[in-house]
Every structure is written in C-alpha cells, then in structure tokens.
Amino acid sequence: MKTTGPPQIRVEEVSLAFPDGTHALDDVSVTVSAGEMVALVGPSGCGKSTLLRLVAGFEKAGMGAVTTSHHALGYVFQDATLLPWRSVLHNVELPGQLTGVPKASRRESARAAIDRVGLGGFERHRPAQLSGGMRMRVSIARALTLQPKLFLFDEPFGALDEITRERLNEDLNALFEAEPFAGLFVTHSVTEAVFMATRVIVMSARPGRILADIPVPFDYPREPGLRYTQEFAEVAATVSKTLREACEVAA
C-alpha cells in the first residue's frame, strides 16, 4: 500500500449559495492528499458536482477557502465529451494541442495514454465507432496526457452497464496504484465507492454537509473478488446505512 503524500486539495469550511438563492454547500471541509482516492456519495442534488467545480476553480465559494496544489488537473465527466469528427488519437491529443505542446511530443504522450487505458489499436477510430465504455476510456486517456496530480471524476461510469463499469473500476484502480494522484470521485454506487476509494465521504441532502468520512481499509491491488468478501460487505453496509439516513431526511 502506498503512503499518502502532502495535501493536494484543501477545502476549508466552504459554503456556497448560487445567485438564485439555492444553498448548495454548507460548511464543507475536505482534504485530499496524493495517494488518496476519496469517493463522494450523497442524495441527488446535495452539491457533489458543485464541490468538484469549486475544486476545479469553475465556482467561487461564498465563505471558506479552496486551495489546490499548482499541478495539472484531470477532470472526467459522466459524458465522455469527445469531438465526434476527430479520431481517438486526435481527441486524446487535444489538451496538448491546446496548450501548444509540439506535435511529435503530444502524439507520443497520446499514444502512451491510449495504451494505458487498453485502447491500443483503436487510435484511428471515431467516437461513434466505440462502445460507451471505450469512449470513457478515451476520455480518461485524454486527461492522462496532462499527467494530473489531481484527478476529479464526476460520476464517469454512471451510464455504463454493470460489468463494463466494474472493469473500468478495476483499470482505474490500476492507474491510481501506478501513479498515486489525489482523486475525488463522485458516484451514486456504494459498491463502486468502496471498491475504488481510500475513503468515502457521505454528504447530507442540500445544502450539502459532510455526514461521515469512512475509511476503506483495503490495500491495492484490489482483486475483483474483493467485492464478494465479508470485509467489503461490512464497509459497504456502513456507507449504505449513512447514505440511507441522509436520503430519508431528504425524502
């Protein structure tokens, strides 16, 4: 198991209300260090995406402070957000192209990232020729070319079938193990949260507050069969119970 490094993301006592008065977050504090993958779960609309957007700098906190290390940031959304007219290779090259990386060098890192997500051989395919899971892999490869030390995932596998999602969880765990970034991962799946995360944060209904911060005590690599063990079931039950309480208050 890797040791955790210095904090990469610090959210301190943050509250946020949108201009229309929607109170999205209330007194939220989260620290994520290198080597931590923190899953965020909570009732729909509790402010999980808003919290990610704050960390990315797309929103400003009304109160409190958000600080991140000055490293490149990877952001992966539920939609793969690929350009349909571009090949896999050209989609993955895009961040390098936009930031002025010379062609040979950006092509080399794009090819390496495509290999790392298991899509070697599909460089010339267009997004429409790929499955949903493959498109998501392209999206992750594109983020990997930035060599992010901070990685934000906004429910990236929510639209995929169960088995594809499990495979992507396993592959993302392997990427995390190989290069322990600081990760914040929004999901509605308790199994996915516990399988992937080093900690699971459970948020309350809006305005989102932190109800629990539950450590996940499993080493990496995490074998697929971990999901069927008693220890896994116990951690998942703790998360589910807290989440259920949060949702019952919301209902």
Ligand X SMILES: Nc1ncnc2c1ncn2[C@@H]1O[C@H](COP(=O)(O)OP(=O)(O)OP(=O)(O)O)[C@@H](O)[C@H]1O
CB 246 within 8 A of CB 211: yes
Rounded CA separation 69/39 (Å) = 19
Rounded CA separation 111/123 (Å) = 8
Annotate each residue in 28-67 with x if it binds ligand X (CB under 6 A) or - if it does not, as one string. --------------x-xxxxxxx-----------------
Stretch that binds ligand X, among 18-26, 90-98, 161-169, 218-226 (CB under 6 A): 18-26
CB of 186 to ligand X, least distance (A): 6
Burial code of 54-82, b = ≥16 C-beta within 10 A, e = fewer? bbbeebebeebebebbeeebbbbbbebeb
CB of 235 to ligand X, least distance (A): 21
Residue 18 sits in the site that holds ligand X (CB under 6 A): yes
Rounded CA separation 50/193 (Å) = 18
Residue 24 sits in the site that holds ligand X (CB under 6 A): yes
Nearest residue (CB) to ligand X, 119 versus 201: 201
Nearest residue (CB) to ligand X, 52 versus 216: 52
CB 41 within 8 A of CB 243: yes
**What are the residues binding ligand X (CB under 6 A)?**
18, 20, 22, 24, 42, 44-50, 206
